[in-house]
Amino acid sequence: MTILVAEDEIITAMWLQAELKTRGYTILSLCSRGQQVIESARNDQPDLLLLDIHLQDDVDGIAAAAAIGNVPIIYASAYVDDETLARAQATNPIAILEKPLDITELVSIIENSALNNS
Amino acid sequence: MLDLVRVCVLRMSNQKRSERVLTVISSLLLLCMSFSFGQNLESSSILVIHSYEATFDWTRRLQQGIESVLMEADETINIFEERLDAKRLTTVDNWSFFTDYLRVKYADFDPSLIIVSDGPALSMMLEEGIQLFPDVPILFSGISTAELQVFQIELDGAQVTGNNTPVAGGVLENIDVREVLELGLRLWPNRTTVYVLTDETSIGVGNRSVVRSIAPTFDGRLSFEYLVPSSVAEMRRLVSDLPDDAILLFNHFIFTAEDGFMPFEWIIPEIMRNSSVPVLGTHDFMITYGASAGYVTDGFKQGTTVAQQALRVLHGEPVGPIAESPNTTMVREPQLVHFQAQMRTLPLDAVILNRTPGFIEANRRILAITATIIMFLSVIIGLLVFQNNQRRMAVAHTEAINAQLTGALQEKSVLMREVHHRTKNNLQVLESMVALELMGDSSPTIKNSLESLRGRIKAIALVHKKLYKTESIASIDLYEYIEELIAHMRELNKVNNERAKSKAGTAQIVLDASGVSPLVSMDVAVPLGLIVNEAITNSLIHGRNGTAPASIHVNVNQAHEGVLKLDVQDDGPGFPTNIDECQGLGVKLIKGLAAQIGGSVILENANGAITTVAFPILGAK
């Protein structure tokens, strides 16, 4: 299963990559900018998008997901106010997780989505 | 005066010196007072002699006119009033009684001036005045031009000279029949016949003669008929049967051969009761007694005019020529209304008797009360409006402050959420670094330390997560927080065991919270979360009973009012025998954090280790 990880904090991105790799997932790319997410997704065709909402450019994770379309999304963000949640829900994600992330919970959701897609 | 001085001298001859001084002083005072009294009396006293009694309206009004001027004068003027009553004492011989009376009464007193009203009084004074009051100037009123000739009083330029009498001036009283008739025609322009009511007295005959002399001037406008009834009964019959186009002129009817003399105040109302047409008069009293209208000789104006002349005499000023008769238009409004007169033709200075009060005059009292009530209500309404405005301003001010406070609160809320968001992000980075470190090749001791550290970060992060989700952003539900923290630790323990392929099995961590969960601030929640984390971590590591998985009970309840008690109990071997010597970081942290929130710690053994923390709950900050 291939995952595209978008995270503007590089340390958090590295940790997610390490945790997911140890569990057998392929991390296609680590992106910190929204525009970069859109381009990588179109090039690499990942099975899952793990997106932080707040990214380094004007295109946030929700906008990027909306632009990409048809790829399962898991949002991971510290921003979970009502307005952001509503925007995120509109892209029909698998889950919206709040930081700091519980890696067990994250892996469990990914596994479930993999089972559903297989 | 000489007698007074003589008495004083006699008294002094029999007195001591001090008594003589007092007598001299008091005598001088008496002399001064008598002198000044005499001066006042002599310098400002006017004797008014009327021909008729005060019951006669003419005389009454004339006296009122005199007083209205003299009473308003700057100086004090004493007015002495006498009446000849010539309507009763009708012969000159009878007047001697009156002159004797005056002679006795005013033997020691000469007035400054004498005013006489009407012919009899003037006639008497011209005959007797020189003897009665030598050299006292006389002013007359109520005298006709014809009478002046009889009395041989002449005008000499601005001066008036009497026949051996000191006549200083006066005011004429001439009836003006022509103007009376002109007034009648203005008021009733459709009336074409004047009935002249007179008697056979010399005055009545003379008056008829006057009317006849002026009648030609009314040719084409008025015709004249003369009524000379021989009795009151005939008069009643005649005046009650006058044609509609007639006017009656009352021109001296006070005597009939059958009924004798009749006073004006009786005969005029009698005529008015019977007349079918309006009645014109020539004197003011005729109107006051009931006649309809007239351009009349005016007793009041006679009085004011002669009184003004009197003031000039007293001040040593020239009196001037004899004043013309000051006649007045006088009407009775009810009569004018009854006979449908053209009232708009009346001059502005007309005297209107029995006037129907206008709306304002008739309702003066009600209007005054209404105005007062309106003013009162206006004041109250004004006060209410003012008060209301004040209240509105206060409400607007309060609303503005509330809006400011709400805005500030929202701003604070946004800022607080931003702080929590950044804190969560930073804690995520921190936890990521610890997790990455854990993945490296480290010794079990370091790994345990890093796991402990990761747990502490989790405990803190969980507080921020919960605060971020609450409405107040300042406080969280304590029991809910502890429950989530325990659930996370339970899950973490399970994962770690699986990762380490431990045979110990997953620990049981059970929460037993009782009572109402308090809301606590971050200042309490973070230390308390760390205490729970340390105590459970300690039990997970040291609290296993042999090879069985650890069984940990967390109890939270209110020990008593305002104090919460939390204890973490396992079924392991317990703390070392000498509990006070426990120097692990976990115990140190528990003690330090408990002190930070004002609480106390008890470590004890009872079928396992028990860590008890009691701390005050002051409510959310």
Q: How far apart are CA B464 and CA B485, in angstroms?
A: 12
Q: Is the pLDDT of residue B82 over 50?
A: yes
Interface of A with B (CB under 8 A): 9, 11-12, 14-16, 18-19, 22, 78-81, 98-104
Of the residues B420, B425, B469, the best mutation for testing chain A's interface (the one with the most A CB atoms within 10 Å of its CB) is B425
Where do runs of H (alpha helix) occur along A1-118?
10-22, 34-44, 61-68, 82-89, 103-117
Whether chain A has a CB inside 8 Å of the CB on B410: the answer is no
User: B421, A15: Cβ pair inside 8 Å?
Assistant: no
Q: How far apart are CA B103 and CA B427, in angstroms?
A: 137
Which one of A9, A14, A15, A16 makes the best mutation probe of the B interface by having the most chain B beta carbons within 10 Å?
A: A15
Residue B218 identity (one-letter amino acid) = F
Is the distance from CB of B372 to CB of B330 less than 8 angstroms? no
User: CB distance A78–B417 less than 8 Å?
Assistant: no
Letter string b/e over residues A47-60, b meaning 16 or more CB atoms within 10 A of that residue's CB: bbbbbbbbbbeebb
Out of B417, B425, B488, name the one closest to residue A9 (CB).
Answer: B425
Comparing alpha-carbon positions, the chain B residue that sits nearest to A9 is B429
Express each pLDDT in B171-217 by its tens digit. 999 999 999 999 999 999 999 999 999 999 988 999 999 999 999 99
Model confidence band, residue B17 (pLDDT cutoffs 50, 70, 90): low
Confidence of residue B20 (pLDDT cuts 50, 70, 90): low
Cis upstream peptide for B137 (omega within 30°) = no
Instruction: Give the separation between CA B452 and CA B459, rounded to whole angstroms.
Output: 11
Q: Do B436 and A79 touch (CB under 8 A)?
A: no
Compute the Cα dihedral for B358, B364, B368, B374 and give only its sign. Answer: negative
* Mean pLDDT score, B127-141: 84
Distance CA A5, CA A61 (A): 10
**Residue B154: CA atoms inside 13 Å, Cβ hemisphere, count?**
5
Half-sphere exposure of A110 (CA within 13 A, CB side): 27
In this complex, how many residue pairs, one in chain A and one in chain B, have their CB atoms less than 8 Å apart? 55
Cβ distance B432 to A11 less than 8 Å, yes or no, reads yes
Q: Are the CB atoms for B195 and B247 separated by under 8 Å?
A: yes
Q: How far is CA B559 from CA B375, B481, B556, B567, B607, in A?
A: 72, 20, 9, 11, 22
pLDDT higher at B317 or B251: B251
Chain B: residue whose CA lies nearest to A102? B488
- Output the six-digit token pair for A75: 């949002």
Both tokens of residue A92?
A: 């029909």
- The whole-angstrom separation of Cα A58 and Cα A73 is 19
Q: How far is B562 from chain A (nearest CA, A)?
A: 33
Query: Can you tell me the mean pLDDT for B473-477?
Result: 80
Residue B362: what pLDDT? 80
Under an 8 A CB cutoff, do A100 and B436 touch?
A: no
State residue B155's pLDDT score.
59
Cα–Cα–Cα angle for B45, B47, B49, rounded to 5 degrees: 170
Q: Mean pLDDT lowest for which of B14-28, B84-98, B216-230, B399-413?
A: B14-28
- In terms of average pLDDT, the best of A38-52, B85-99, B538-552, B583-597 is A38-52
Tell me the CB-side half-sphere exposure of residue B147, using CA atoms within 13 A: 20
> For B492, which residue in chain A has the nearest alpha carbon?
A104
Least confident of B14-28, B113-127, B216-230: B14-28
Q: How far is B405 from chain A (nearest CA, A)?
A: 22
Tell me how long chain A is: 118
Query: Does B53 lie at the interface with A, CB-CB under 8 angstroms?
Result: no
Range with lowest mean pLDDT among A46-60, B498-512, B564-578: B498-512
Residues of B numbered 202-261 whose beta carbons fall under 8 angstroms of chain A's beta carbons: which are they?
Answer: none
Q: DSSP letters of B146-198?
A: HHHHHTT-EEETTEEE-SSS-EEEEEE----HHHHHHHHHHH-TT--EEEEE-
Question: CA-CA distance, B621 to B612, in Å (whole number)?
Answer: 24
**H or E segment at A53?**
none
A115 versus B566: the higher-pLDDT residue is B566
Of B425, B433, B491, the CB nearest to A78: B425
List of chain B residues whose C-beta atoms are within 8 Å of the C-beta of residue A100: 424, 427-428, 431, 457-458, 461, 465
Q: Residue B503 has what pLDDT?
A: 66
To the question of pTM greater than 0.90 for the whole model, the response is: no
What lies within 8 Å, CB to CB, of B272 at 6+ separation is B279, B290, B291, B335
**Number of helices (H), then strands (E), in chain B:** 19, 23
Cα R_g (chain B), whole angstroms: 63
B429 contacts chain A (CB < 8 A):
yes
| Yes or no, beta carbons of B424 and A78 under 8 Å apart | yes
- Does the structure show a pLDDT above 50 at B42? no
Residue of B11 and B491 predicted with greater confidence = B491
Residue pair B563/B617 in contact (Cβ under 8 Å)? The answer is yes
Question: Mean pLDDT in chain B?
Answer: 85
Q: Rounded to an integer, what distance in angstroms lies between the CA atom of residue B308 and that of residue B319?
A: 9
User: 3-state DSSP call for residue A9?
Assistant: coil
* pLDDT at position B599 over 60: yes
Interface test with B, best of A7, A8, A11, A50 (most B CBs within 10 A): A11
Average pLDDT over residues B307-331: 90
**Residue B502 one-letter amino acid:** S
Residue A23 has pLDDT above 80, yes or no: yes
* Least Cα separation, residue B470 to chain A (angstroms): 11
pLDDT of residue A104: 87
Cross-strand bridge partners of residue B601: B613
Measure CB to CB from residue B428 to each of A14, A22, A101 and give the nearest one.
A101
Tell me whether residues A12 and B461 touch, CB distance under 8 A.
no
Task: Please give the residue of chain B at the shortest CA–CA distance from A107.
Answer: B495
Average pLDDT of the residues of chain A: 91
Closest in A15, A81, A99 to B424, CB measured: A99
Nearest CA in chain B to A105: B491
How is residue B592 written in tokens? 């330090």
The contacts found for B545-552 with CB under 8 angstroms, 24 or more apart, are B545/B571, B545/B572, B545/B573, B545/B608, B547/B503, B547/B504, B548/B504, B548/B505, B549/B504, B549/B505, B549/B506, B549/B507, B549/B508, B550/B507, B550/B508, B551/B507, B551/B508, B551/B510, B552/B507, B552/B508, B552/B509, B552/B510
Under 8 Å between Cβ of A27 and A21: yes
Residues of A in contact with B435 (CB under 8 A): 15, 18-19, 103
B259 — pLDDT class (breaks 50, 70, 90):
very high
The confidence score (pLDDT) of residue B52 equals 92
Contact list in B for residue A103 (CB cut-off 8 A) is 435
Determine, for residues A14 and B435 on separate chains, whether the beta-carbon distance falls below 8 Å. no
The neighbour count for residue B45, using CB atoms within 10 Å, is: 18
Per the DSSP assignment, residues forming a β-bridge with B604 are B610
Q: Are the beta carbons of B608 and B571 closer than 8 angstroms? A: yes
Cβ neighbours of residue B168 closer than 8 Å, sequence gap 6 or more: B113, B137, B138, B139, B160, B309, B313, B319
